[in-house]
Amino acid sequence: MSKIQKIMSREVLAEGGIPVIQAKLKLDNNLEVEVTIPSNDHRTNYQKVEFYDNDQSRYHGKGVLRPVSFINDLIGPKLVGVSPQKQKEIDGWLLASDSSELRNKLGVNTIYAISMLIAKAGAVDANIPLYSYINNIYNSSYGDSKIVLDKVPTPIITVLSTTEELGVKLDFKEFQIIPTASYQFAKSLEIGTTVATTFRETYNSSTVNSNQDAIETITDTIESLDLKLGQDIFLSLNFMASNYEKSGSYELKDKAQALKISDYLDFVKMIAKKYLPLVLIDPFLPSDWASWKNLNLDLSKETYLVGNELVSSSSKILQKVISEKLCSSFMVNPALVGTITELFEMTTFIRKSGLNYVISSSDHDTSDHSIADLAVGLQPDFVKFGLPTRTENLVKYNRMMEIEEEIKNIK
Beta pairing partners, 14: 18
8 A C-beta contact, residue 190 and residue 227: no
| H helix intervals, 146-286 | 185-202, 211-224, 261-275
Amino acid at the residue 34:
E
Query: E-assigned strands of 320-377?
Result: 329-332, 356-360
Terminal Cα-to-Cα distance of the chain (whole angstroms): 29
Asked whether residue 368 is marked as a ligand-binding residue, the answer is no
Nearest to 250 by CA among 278, 211, 294: 211
β-strand pairing of 233-238 with 174-179: antiparallel
Contacts of 188-192 spanning 24+ positions with Cβ under 8 A: 188/154, 188/155, 188/157, 189/155, 189/157, 189/388, 189/397, 189/400, 189/401, 191/227, 191/232, 191/233, 192/155, 192/157, 192/233, 192/388
Dihedral angle sign, alpha carbons of residues 80, 86, 92, 98: positive
Dihedral angle sign, alpha carbons of residues 73, 78, 83, 84: negative
Which amino acids are annotated as binding site for Mg(2+), given as ranges? Answer: 254
Binding residue positions:
254
